[in-house]
A and B are shown apart, each in its own frame.
Chain A
Amino acid sequence: MARYDRAITVFSPDGHLFQVEYALEAVRKGNAAVGVRGSDTVVLGVEKKSTPKLQDSRTVRKIVSLDTHIALACAGLKADARVLINRARIECQSHRLTVEDPVTVEYITRYIAGLQQKYTQSGGVRPFGLSTLIVGFDPHSEKPALYQTDPSGTFSAWKANATGRNSNSMREFLEKNYKETSGKETIKLAIRALLEVVESGGKNIEIAVMTHKDGLRQLEEAEIDEYVAEIEAEKAAAEAAKKGGGASTSASS
């Protein structure tokens, strides 16, 4: 038993925790995920790799709910995600029992981040190989919130963020194009960010929308296709406007 006490995550001479950095590498190889916070809506989007023909796609949900008012998407090792999500769900219910109040988004993020940090400072375990994007509405202030955690156990709040494959380009896009949005505009912003790095089409994107009133709703493929079509049209119009010098505003087919 003594052999398993030795910590796997130890400092390097120049102050790095290599295991944590390797975990971040694993995250960078995971599928792309994006989250956008609007004034009354929060949107999570995940890249969906093409499902094999015989696989039942309903069992590979990438965006999950932790409670009726909190949802989570992640990038990285899916098996680690399952463990973390189960613990978070238990904590949500336990909090409801002990203080008779639903969790705030910040509380559950802090819990998940704390869990991830614990595994970087224990013997015989490796860090969780995933970064999460947590969205939800606070039960009291009814304000939307978006948080991100990573394998080192740090967390912070964001207006919009991306993680996983090509997250840097997505984040750049978001930084350039972010503005306060609500409702459909928030959804379109999230889809546009994803489309930067993902093949276009409802088949390759999974989107979930959460409002304070209606909770979490996964968008159907057809709906996503509609949004994608709208976005393409807008893009084409913008191109035409640029080329035509502002004169023509007709949408091209």
Chain B
Amino acid sequence: MLLLVFGLSFLSFFPSLSLSQHFAPTRTKPHHRISVSLNLKQRKQREEKRRMMMKLDTSGLESFSAAVPSAMAAAEDQLFAPPSFDLPAGCADFDKFQMEAKQTLKHAKGTTTLAFIFNQGVIVAADSRASMGGYISSQSVKKIIEINPYMLGTMAGGAADCQFWHRNLGIKCRLHELANKRRISVTGASKLLANILYSYRGMGLSIGTMIAGWDEKGPGLYYVDSEGGRLKGNRFSVGSGSPYAYGVLDNGYRPDMTVEEAHELARRAIYHATFRDGASGGVVSVYHVGPNGWKKLSGDDVSELHYKYYPVQPTPVEHEMVDAPPA
């Protein structure tokens, strides 16, 4: 069961509440118990269990101090005390723990995607790394989803959520086309998605996507996320590497670029984000959306790009190593 999620750390420890009971079943000394609110039935069952446990013959488990006079009692407490350890973090207040866990995952939409509108259409670019905490689970993920021949969506957040809802959006767009005999606008498509995501708000979807396309009104670009937000704009970058991508993108952006210039700008911006952000990497894919639909421009490995942008300089050797002259 491969959890392909970008940047979401894999939570594998869920504490069991009955841990403490295994180690000191018969000690009359009170030991730390979690206060758990139980209803009457559960409380009765617990009492039953406790009573039954007390009937077991646990003489073998009793510390020898019971037979020995109490002079040893103090020392015994330290020597033969059952191994104690702090209860795992979530036990005391599991709801708070769950909220905190969600918070740590908030910025971890570990990816870099960007899109911008210019005079010749829309450029959409993304990296291809999937990470689970510090583990890189894949270097070849398709983060640009083809909704239909003239609309693209980018993926950031939960991979399954993005893939499913983008495909669902594609279905809705096609149904709109069939019913109304004309293509849906980028505005309409992004609004459909945003309304759906809003209705699932608070239920744990994690999607930060950009819908880019070309419709009758020209190029369109919208940012839609799982909080239900929807923004119209000319330049967006989404993901943990977005600050780095914005730096390059905002610096080099001009509305009157050629397709080649825009292509190179997008590629450079994503490369730079993969250079600085650990959760981004792999392959930079760049797409262009024009009046006739989208076209994939390139897919370059970032490590190769690195040596293209920063070729290895042969460093001058300070002291040349020469063989010692023969005596």
Asked if A and B bind, the verdict is yes
**Which residues of A are interface residues toward B (Cβ below 8 A)?**
98-101, 104, 106-107, 110, 140
| Main SS at interface, chain B | helix
Contact of A107 among B180, B185, B192, B216 (CB under 8 A): B180
Report chain B residues within 8 Å CB of A99: 184-185, 187-188, 191-192
Any A CB within 8 A of the CB of B195? yes
Contact pick for A100, options B180, B181, B188, B216, CB 8 Å: B188
Q: Are B180 and A101 in contact (CB under 8 A)?
A: no
CA distance A106 to B187 in the complex (A): 20
**Given the complex, which residues of B lie within 8 Å of A104, measured CB to CB?**
180
Interface of chain A, main secondary structure = helix
Distance to closest chain B CB from A107 (angstroms):
6
Q: Which of B176-200 contact A (CB under 8 A)?
A: 179-182, 184-185, 187-188, 191-192, 195
How far does the alpha carbon of A101 sit from the alpha carbon of B180 in the complex, in Å?
Answer: 13
A-B contact pairs, 21 of them (CB 8 A): A98-B188, A98-B191, A98-B192, A98-B195, A99-B184, A99-B185, A99-B187, A99-B191, A99-B192, A100-B185, A100-B187, A100-B191, A101-B185, A101-B187, A101-B188, A104-B180, A106-B180, A106-B181, A107-B180, A110-B179, A140-B216
Residues 212-229 of B, flagged 1 when their CB comes within 8 A of A and 0 if not, give 000010000000000000
- For residue A98, which residue of chain B has the nearest CB? B191
Q: How far is the CA of A101 from the CA of B184 in the complex (A)?
A: 10
B interface, CB within 8 angstroms of A: 179-182, 184-185, 187-188, 191-192, 195, 216
A193–B180 alpha-carbon span in the complex (Å): 32
Nearest CB of A to B229, in Å: 16
Smallest CB separation, B306 vs chain A (Å): 43
Once bound together, how far apart are the Cα atoms of A92 and B180, in whole Å? 15
Instruction: Report the Cα distance A101→B190, complex, angstroms.
Output: 13
With the chains together, A101 CA to B182 CA distance in Å?
A: 13
Closest to B216 in A: A140
A105 to B289 Cα, complex, angstroms: 31
In the complex, A203→B187 CA distance in Å?
A: 47
B residues within 8 A CB of A101? 185, 187-188
Chain A residues within 8 Å of B187, by CB: 99-101
User: Using Cβ atoms and an 8 Å threshold, which residues of chain B touch A140?
Assistant: 182, 216
- The residue in A99, A100, A140 that gathers the most chain B C-beta atoms within 10 A of its C-beta is A99
Inter-chain CA distance A60–B195, complex, in Å, is 39
Residues of A within 8 A of B188 (CB): 98-101
Which chain A residues border B185 with CB–CB below 8 Å? 99-101
Complex CA–CA separation, A106 to B182 (angstroms)? 12
Which residues from chain B contact A98 at a C-beta distance below 8 Å?
188, 191-192, 195
What is the CB-to-nearest-CB distance from A70 to chain B, in angstroms, rounded to a whole number? 15
Closest to B181 in A: A106
Please name 5 further chain A to chain B contacts, defined as beta carbons within 8 Å, in addition to the given A98-B191, A100-B187, A107-B180, sorted by A numbering.
A98-B195, A99-B187, A99-B188, A106-B180, A140-B182
Closest to B180 in A: A107
Q: How far is the CB of A44 from chain B (nearest CB, A)?
A: 24
- A94 → B minimal CB distance (Å): 11
Residues of B within 8 A of A107 (CB): 180
**How far is B187's CA from A101's CA once the two chains are assembled, in angstroms?**
9
What CA separation (Å) do A140 and B179 show in the bound complex?
A: 17
How far is it, in angstroms, between the C-alpha of A104 and the C-alpha of B185 when the chains are bound?
14
In the bound complex, CA of A139 to CA of B185 (Å)? 13
* A170 to B191 CA separation, bound complex (whole angstroms): 45
Closest to B192 in A: A98
The minimal Cβ–Cβ distance linking B176 to chain A, given in whole angstroms, is 8
A110 CA / B179 CA spacing, docked (Å): 10
CA distance A100 to B195 in the complex (A): 13
**Shortest 4 CB-CB contacts between residues of A and residues of B:** A99-B188, A100-B187, A98-B191, A99-B191
Tell me the nearest residue of chain A to B195, going by C-beta. Answer: A98
Complex CA gap A99/B187 in Å reads: 6
Smallest CB gap from A100: residue in B: B187
Which residue on chain B has the smallest CB distance to residue A97? B191
In the complex, which residue of chain A has the Cβ closest to the Cβ of B187?
A100
Q: Which residue of B lies closest to A95 (CB)?
A: B188
Chain B's closest residue to A107 (CB) is B180
Q: How far is the CA of A110 from the CA of B192 in the complex (A)?
A: 20
CA gap between A99 and B184 in the complex, in Å: 8
